Structure 1
Amino acid sequence: MKLLRRLLLAAAVILVIGYAAVVGYMYFNQRALQYVADGPITALADTTLTAAEEVAIPSGGGVVSGWYEAPKPGKPLIIYYRGNSGSFSAEHERFEQFVADGYGFLSFDYRGFPMSPGSLSQQGILDDATAAFDWAAGKGFPILIWGRSLGSGPATYVASIREAEALLLETPFLSAVTVAGERYPYLPVALVMQDQFPVNQWILDVDEPVLVAHGTADVVVGVSNGERVYDLVKNKDELWIEPGAGHGDLWDRGIWGHAVPFFERAMAE
């Protein structure tokens, strides 16, 4: 019996030490685990955006780099807050469609992503997002905010503290810590996660009309996140749930066909 107790005690100690080691690793490496900041940069010259320009927007003692094109007369400007993978420039197909339909756009890499040097943090992303909005607002056009995945965090934050015409959230999370908790239920993520992006709190202060889009087959950010975000929206416009769509499928599944009438409704208010 004594031997058995010693073996059980030793096993318990090993489990505790192992668990503490996993938590410690997650804490000290959490931003490397949370963000996917590497990836190729698409040159503006390699797109059909012949009238767009490269811009450098001051933010937090540094600059964020992006692309900008003014809208056609009478049209608004879309600020596109990109997701958590590589450079925004990889999504040039979206910007080409915006421009083809007369919309202007501004998109950029947060500091720490390929086109914008710096270190990554929630505060840095929010500062960059706000600086980009203020830079765009200075152009004098009506502004539409579009946030995708990670970008739903800064997009919602900016909409909560600035005035825009509309907010579109594509595959949003209720909060980043909610997603982490769903993915790692055995870890105390709420206690150790620094960049929690509480969309569930920021959305309560958003007065703009809101469209939320999500896919039922999203395994990166579960569809219930989008549904729960929409439940908290004050000025509801549309909740579009696309059956069978994954995290990166909504553009090909027709989100632009939902975005345009949504933007037109918002501009008509």
Structure 2
Amino acid sequence: MAEARGRRMWPWLALAALPLLLWLALCAGMYAWQRHFIYFPQATRTSASGTNFELDRDGLALRGWQLHPGRPDALIYFGGNAERVQDNAADFDRTLPGRTVYLLPYRGYGPNPGEPGEATLVADALALYDEVRRHHPQGRIAVVGRSLGSGVAVQVAVRRPVDRLILITPFDSLSEVAATHYPWLPVRRLLRDRYESARHLSAYHGQWLVMRAGRDAVVPPRRTDRLIAAASTPPRVVDFPQAGHDDLSLSPRYWSAMAAFLQADAGAPRPH
């Protein structure tokens, strides 16, 4: 009798366990495919034929664009997770004619081979800085990072001498941003690429600028505010209260604020 009762209860127990099994399957899928939720290189694919700059990374050729070659000072730009960095070329050309600008897509982006990941992207970024320094031995090097690129830029700024740091729609931690979008999943435990910018930025003591979007649905503004609060040195903040994550750069104030911040020390002595 007990055995028959157990057979009758089994379907109900299995049904009750179904939500947990589905949740575990979602967790497993998120863990296995997490980089597909972070990096979106598909729309950035392009031919290498139009590039004019190359960085060799242990036999892997990363190609990008160099604007205004030969200027004493330089700027390195790190884009967002689905950004075609070359689309900024005309604006950089117009806004910063006095600096050599480097637009290098991440590995796996644009014309470049490879697979993106935090460790490799940061290592590539440091190698790019070192190559830029070789071309600008006495110049000032500014670093700009937008969205995902802010997580890369911060780690460059704390490991290399950076003249100015500009962060556009930055976040304190990618895991915290992910937790906002997937509150039903334990993403803080699942993520491998975490980009803990708030922790890294505490070691940066230079001048920096934050461009903050008030209606950002991708990086909630409170995540930008947490980054600012965690820093050892307060930044200059330019707020765009009506802007979202992707249309921030459509404002005329976007480029003028960047130019003003970078030109503020134009008369200062260069590093030796």
For normalisation by structure 1, the TM-score amounts to 0.88
Q: Find the counterpart in structure 1 of residue 260 from structure 2.
A: 261
User: Alignment partner of 1:29: what SS?
Assistant: helix
Which residue, 7, 32, 37 being the options, matches 2:41? 37
CA distance in 2, matches of 1:195, 1:232: 20
CA distance in 2, matches of 1:231, 1:205: 13
- Determine if the alignment matches structure 1 residue 251 to structure 2 residue 249: yes
Deviations 1:156-178 (A, max 9, x none): 00000000111000001111111
Give the Å deviation of 1:15: 0.9
Give the Å deviation of 1:114: 2.2
Contact 2:228-2:235 at 8 Å conserved across structures: no
Contact 2:48-2:111 at 8 Å conserved across structures: no
Deviations 1:217-253 (A, max 9, x none): 1101111122221222223341122111001222222
CA distance in 1, matches of 2:126, 2:32: 28
Assess, with a 3 A threshold, how the Cα gap between structure 1 residues 8 and 209 changes in structure 2: closer, same or farther.
farther
User: Alignment partner of 1:251: what SS?
Assistant: helix
CA distance in 2, matches of 1:232, 1:71: 36
User: Alignment partner of 1:147: what SS?
Assistant: strand
Assess, with a 3 A threshold, how the Cα gap between structure 1 residues 146 and 72 changes in structure 2: closer, same or farther.
same
Q: Find the counterpart in structure 2 of residue 189 from structure 1.
A: 187
CA distance in 2, matches of 1:150, 1:42: 20
Give the Å deviation of 1:96: 2.3
CA distance in 2, matches of 1:266, 1:203: 22
Which residue, 113, 117, 129 being the options, matches 1:133? 129
Contact 1:148-1:171 at 8 Å conserved across structures: yes
Which residue, 79, 84, 100 being the options, matches 2:81? 84
Q: Find the counterpart in structure 1 of residue 146 from structure 2.
A: 148
Which residue, 98, 111, 114 being the options, matches 1:115? 111
Q: Find the counterpart in structure 2 of residue 169 from structure 1.
A: 167
Amino acid at match of 1:9: L
Which is further off, 103-112 or 3-12?
3-12
Moved over 2 A (4+): 1-12, 40-46, 69-73, 90-99, 232-237, 264-269
Contact 1:59-1:128 at 8 Å conserved across structures: yes
CA distance in 1, matches of 2:263, 2:220: 29
Which residue, 203, 206, 212 being the options, matches 2:204? 206
Contact 2:216-2:245 at 8 Å conserved across structures: yes
Contact 2:95-2:259 at 8 Å conserved across structures: no
What percent identity do the matched residue pairs reach? 26
CA distance in 1, matches of 2:109, 2:102: 16
Contact 2:45-2:109 at 8 Å conserved across structures: no
Contact 2:44-2:109 at 8 Å conserved across structures: no
Give the Å deviation of 1:8: 5.6
Instruction: Name stretches of at least 5 consecutive residues in structure 2 with no aligned partner.
Output: none
Instruction: Name stretches of at least 5 consecutive residues in structure 1 with no aligned partner.
Output: 47-52
CA distance in 2, matches of 1:242, 1:68: 29
Contact 1:42-1:90 at 8 Å conserved across structures: no
CA distance in 1, matches of 2:265, 2:81: 27
For normalisation by structure 2, the TM-score amounts to 0.87
Assess, with a 3 A threshold, how the Cα gap between structure 1 residues 205 and 60 changes in structure 2: closer, same or farther.
farther
For this pair of structures, how many residues does the alignment match?
A: 261
User: Alignment partner of 1:236: what SS?
Assistant: coil
Amino acid at match of 1:107: L
User: Alignment partner of 1:65: what SS?
Assistant: strand
Which structure has the bigger radius of gyration? 2
Deviations 1:151-196 (A, max 9, x none): 0011000000000111000001111111101111110111111111
Q: Find the counterpart in structure 2 of residue 50 from structure 1.
A: none
Give the Å deviation of 1:12: 2.7
Which residue, 120, 125, 128 being the options, matches 1:124? 120
